[in-house]
Chain A
Amino acid sequence: MEVTVNKVVDAKGLACPMPIVKTKKEIDNLEPGMVMEIQATDKGSTTDIKAWAENTGHQYLGSTAEGDVFKHYLRKARDEEEKAETKHQDITSLDDLLKKVEGEEKVTVIDVREPAEYAFGHIPGSVNIPLDQLENRFDELDKNDEIHVVCRTGNRSDLAAQKMAGKGFNNVKNVVPGMKEWSGPTEQTN
């Protein structure tokens, strides 16, 4: 799995609790929303990193294993994402989107999360355009298409929907709340 990250932390060869201690030190240097890859050989690190993220409020994205090396992916918490407030008026619920995804007609879903978040689970057929790349990729999209924009909580997708509406896209729907509560099918990028 190829995943774009902001920081790679090497905790290979280190025993518990060092992978956690190192992760904590390094995440303090990241900006909120940035993604970190932790490489570890400690077999307990998968459950530990996950539990650590749960306790600290950071977002655990997933883990991969290659030989003896585990790679764990975290995204630094961003408080404003947890607030439900959105500005873009045109919204779609997860249930409505699920019906469309399971239906016969083609549906356009743009996932504006970071590539690492997308890689560990996204709606089949959705296209990943991270929020910070959107401005440069408008030409990949059809202005008259019905476009569903999704992220984790509805916050980044709200910003994306506003940007698109400002660019003359006239049928953009923000999917709320987002992948955090999506119960439909997902696929991973291999």
Chain B
Amino acid sequence: MKVAIIAANGGMFDAYKVFNIATAAAATDAEVGIFFTFEGLNLIHKEGHKQLPMPEGTEHFQEGFQRANVPPVEDLVSMASEMNVKMIACQMTMDVMSLEKEHFVEGIDVGGAASFLNFASDANITLTF
């Protein structure tokens, strides 16, 4: 199984959508690749991914996350990395936002749209969040 994911949004809920599917797929022996573009880059930004905003008006869910013992986003990111999930940061967005590779968590690649398309060309599942 091969799973290709585009992460284009940068909120905390977006992070869970992306990394839950990615880690579950990796645990199911799938080859997983995520392309982080525009706000999606927040999800792998060294400091940014530790304090992602919740959608306005949903702050009360914070308690629910704790009650359900949902792991912090940074744990999911390092788990994904450990399980060899391929993470590609969008070069074009980085240029626009003046970001460098060292602003992001360890183990990511930087690439353009063609790198993602190449990875996704034979994927069984393609998702956009």
Chain A interface (Cβ < 8 Å from any Cβ of B): 13-18, 20-21, 23-25, 48, 52, 55-56
Whether the Cβ atoms of A24 and B28 lie closer than 8 Å is yes
| Stretch from B33-41, B46-54, B63-71, B111-119 at the A interface | B63-71
- Interface size of B in residues (CB-CB distance below 8 Å): 14
- Contact A55 to B20, CB < 8 A, known contacts A14-B69, A15-B70: no
Other A-B pairs beyond A16-B20, A52-B27, 19, CB < 8 Å: A13-B69, A14-B69, A14-B71, A15-B68, A15-B70, A15-B71, A17-B20, A17-B23, A17-B24, A18-B71, A20-B24, A20-B28, A21-B24, A21-B27, A21-B79, A24-B27, A55-B29, A56-B28, A56-B29
Task: List, in ascending order, chain A residues with CB within 8 A of B1's CB.
Answer: 55
Note all chain A residues with C-beta closer than 8 A to B70: 15
User: In the bound complex, how far is the Cα of B26 from the Cα of A163, in angstroms?
Assistant: 41
0/1 string, B61-95, CB within 8 A of A gives 1:
00000001111000000010001000000000000
Residues of B with C-beta under 8 A to A17: 20, 23-24, 27
- Could you name 30 residue pairs across A and B whose Cβ atoms are closer than 8 Å? A13-B69, A14-B69, A14-B71, A15-B68, A15-B69, A15-B70, A15-B71, A16-B20, A17-B24, A17-B27, A18-B71, A20-B24, A20-B27, A20-B28, A21-B23, A21-B27, A21-B79, A21-B83, A23-B27, A24-B26, A24-B28, A24-B29, A24-B83, A25-B27, A48-B24, A52-B28, A55-B28, A55-B29, A56-B28, A56-B29
- Please, which residues of chain A bring their CB within 8 A of the CB of B27? 17, 20-21, 23-25, 52
Give Cα A24–Cα B24 distance, bound, in whole angstroms: 9
Most central of A13, A15, A17, A55 by chain B CB within 10 Å = A17
Query: At the interface, is chain A mostly helix, strand, loop or mixed?
Result: helix
In this complex, what residue of A is CB-closest to B27?
Answer: A24
Shortest beta-carbon distance from B128 to chain A in Å: 19
Q: What A residues does B23 contact at CB under 8 A?
A: 17, 21
Complex Cα gap A24–B32 (Å): 15
The minimal Cβ–Cβ distance linking B24 to chain A, given in whole angstroms, is 4
Residues of chain B with a CB closer than 8 A to A18's CB: 71
Chain B min CB distance to A175 (Å): 32
Please report the C-alpha to C-alpha distance between residue A134 and residue B23 in the assembled complex, in whole angstroms.
41
List 6 tightest A-B contacts by C-beta distance, closest first.
Answer: A24-B27, A17-B24, A15-B70, A21-B27, A15-B68, A55-B28
State how many angstroms separate the Cβ of A119 from the closest Cβ of chain B. Answer: 26
The answer for the CA separation of A14 and B28 in the assembled complex, in Å, is 18
Closest approach, in angstroms, between the C-beta of A6 and any C-beta of chain B?
20
B26 to chain A, nearest CB (A): 8
Report the nearest B residue to A17, measured CB to CB: B24
User: CA A24 – CA B1 in complex, angstroms?
Assistant: 15
**Bound form: Cα–Cα A56–B79 in Å:** 19
| Cα A48 to Cα B28 with chains together (Å) | 11
